Amino acid sequence: MKKNRELILGIETSCDETAASLIKAEKGKIEILSNVVFSQIKLHQPFGGIVPEVASRAHLEKIIPVLKKAYGNYSPFQVNLICVTYGPGLITSLLIGIEAAKTLSYLTHAPLMAVNHLEGHIYSVENFEKIIYPAMALIVSGGHTKLINIKKPFVYQEVGTTLDDAAGECFDKISKFLGLGYPGGPIISDYASKWRQGKKTIDFHLPRPMLKKKNFDFSFSGLKTALIYSLRKKHSFPLEGICAEVEEAICQVLTYKTMAASREYKANSLILCGGVAANQYLRKRLKEEANKAKINFFCPPSNLATDNALMIALAGYERFKMLSPKEKEKLKNNFELDANPNLYF
């Protein structure tokens, strides 16, 4: 490798995507060489959700082909840093990526950097180097719904979290109940979008959980129950209208709480990330509210909202740059690294 040029490999297997990415850092600029993702959605669709045993077997089958594709014409021995997700996530899935990363580190003597999956999502946003701190991050996915006050790079304070179901999980459960399939978020959003395009109205209302509570926590488990009770009373609601109200209820709560937290902690930037960040209605609402409040808004491209290894490579490299030479050298023997399925900030 040329001087001042580094190749960084990212590996992500925390849930149901087997992913690897190779990036090049040179003169302060990042070039994306590859970003390979094998999605297991079709494997889990018959079950209406993620089955851990199915996920880990698929990771085991796909990790080597995905890595080979990510390397492209580069050799593993050219890589200067290996970054891998070590939590949170499904432990049997995490271990596949970790063991692959440890093996590569052992063979190539490249430093091995452990990366927090949630932190990776934060670094998936476009132009993250332009974030002005303090920043408020809404991390929202099938497994997480969190509000994080980022005081400065890598200094986090959790100020809100879901007390039960994550927002993405709520979408999935309601979609399954309505017989629409998995994953629920994109399906419900498509129906909702068609309803709004027709500018129709519906005499159907769901509660906005914890909207008036004087904290920044969330609760979505009751929405499905409320939906069931409402449909028992009247069965003639159009499906598109139901989906529009579901999406409205979830997005209204997420937007309200996020903006309230942003004001409370005097955020200069607002970050939307995680799988549900692909929801165009949520992106639009949060961006509009951030603009009104004169807060800079950041979110990932839609294709990087869901799990990927590019975000792991980026987050790991940013942390690695902050280490001392001695700390960097120590990571060449980071073979005790283990999965932490319950990891948070």
Write the pLDDT tens digit of every residue in 166-175.
999 999 999 9
Q: What is the pLDDT of residues 180-195, one digit of tens each?
A: 999 999 999 999 999 9
Predicted local distance difference test score (pLDDT) of residue 3: 56
Predicted local distance difference test score (pLDDT) of residue 186: 96
Give a yes or no: residue 92 inside a domain: yes
Give a yes or no: residue 286 inside a domain: yes
Predicted local distance difference test score (pLDDT) of residue 235: 65
Give a yes or no: residue 247 inside a domain: yes
Least confident of 139-148, 223-232, 334-343: 223-232
Predicted local distance difference test score (pLDDT) of residue 233: 77
Predicted local distance difference test score (pLDDT) of residue 1: 45
Are 152 and 198 members of one domain? Answer: yes
Are 143 and 72 members of one domain? Answer: no
8 and 23 Cβ atoms separated by less than 8 Å: yes
Please give the average per-residue pLDDT across 212-234, as a whole number: 90
Angstrom distance (rounded) from CA 282 to CA 288: 10
E runs forming strands in 54-154: 81-87, 112-116, 135-140, 145-152
Please give the average per-residue pLDDT across 16-25, as a whole number: 98
Are 113 and 260 members of one domain? Answer: no
Give a yes or no: residue 255 inside a domain: yes
Share of the chain above pLDDT 90, in %: 91
Mean of all residue pLDDT scores within the chain: 95
Angstrom distance (rounded) from CA 289 to CA 286: 5
The dihedral through the CA atoms of 314, 319, 322, 323 has a sign that is negative
Domain range for 282 is 131-302
Please give the average per-residue pLDDT across 104-111, as a whole number: 98
The number of domains in the chain is: 2
Give a yes or no: residue 340 inside a domain: no
Query: Which CATH number goes with the domain that contains 221?
Result: 3.30.420.40
Are 244 and 182 members of one domain? Answer: yes
Predicted local distance difference test score (pLDDT) of residue 203: 82
Asked if the model's pLDDT at residue 177 lies above 80, the reply is yes
Query: Which residues on adjacent β-strands are paired with residue 32?
Result: 23
Please give the average per-residue pLDDT across 272-292, as a whole number: 98
3-state secondary structure of 168: helix
Give a yes or no: residue 343 inside a domain: no
The whole model's pTM is what?
0.95
Angstrom distance (rounded) from CA 182 to CA 169: 11
Are 72 and 217 members of one domain? Answer: no
Asked if the model's pLDDT at residue 26 lies above 50, the reply is yes
Are 297 and 226 members of one domain? Answer: yes
Give a yes or no: residue 76 inside a domain: yes
Asked if the model's pLDDT at residue 241 lies above 50, the reply is yes
141 and 158 Cβ atoms separated by less than 8 Å: no
Please give the average per-residue pLDDT across 205-217, as a whole number: 93
3-state secondary structure of 67: helix
